[in-house]
Amino acid sequence: MTIAIDNNITVYDATYIALAQSIRAAVATEDSDIIRVGFPEAITCK
């Protein structure tokens, strides 16, 4: 919930970020909010 509030994104998007961080995994996404947050492990699919 903190990720969502701190970055003004949905809890749904923040859940993906939190999960990836917890298992130290990359995120492949086209979701602009996840990319915008600057999640360092995000892999842009565009």
| Whole-Å CA distances, 43 to 1, 7, 12, 17 | 22, 18, 18, 12
How is residue 46 written in tokens?
A: 């565009």
d(CA 46, CA 44): 6
pLDDT digits (tens, 9 = 90+) for 2-19: 999 999 999 999 998 888
Q: What is the dihedral of CA 18, 21, 23, 24, to 10 degrees?
A: 160
Hey, which residues does 44 pair with through a beta bridge? 29
d(CA 13, CA 17): 7
pLDDT digits (tens, 9 = 90+) for 21-44: 889 888 888 888 888 886 666 777
Q: What is the pLDDT of residue 10?
A: 94
Q: What is the pLDDT of residue 37?
A: 83
Q: What is the pTM of this model?
A: 0.74
Q: What is the pLDDT of residue 25?
A: 85
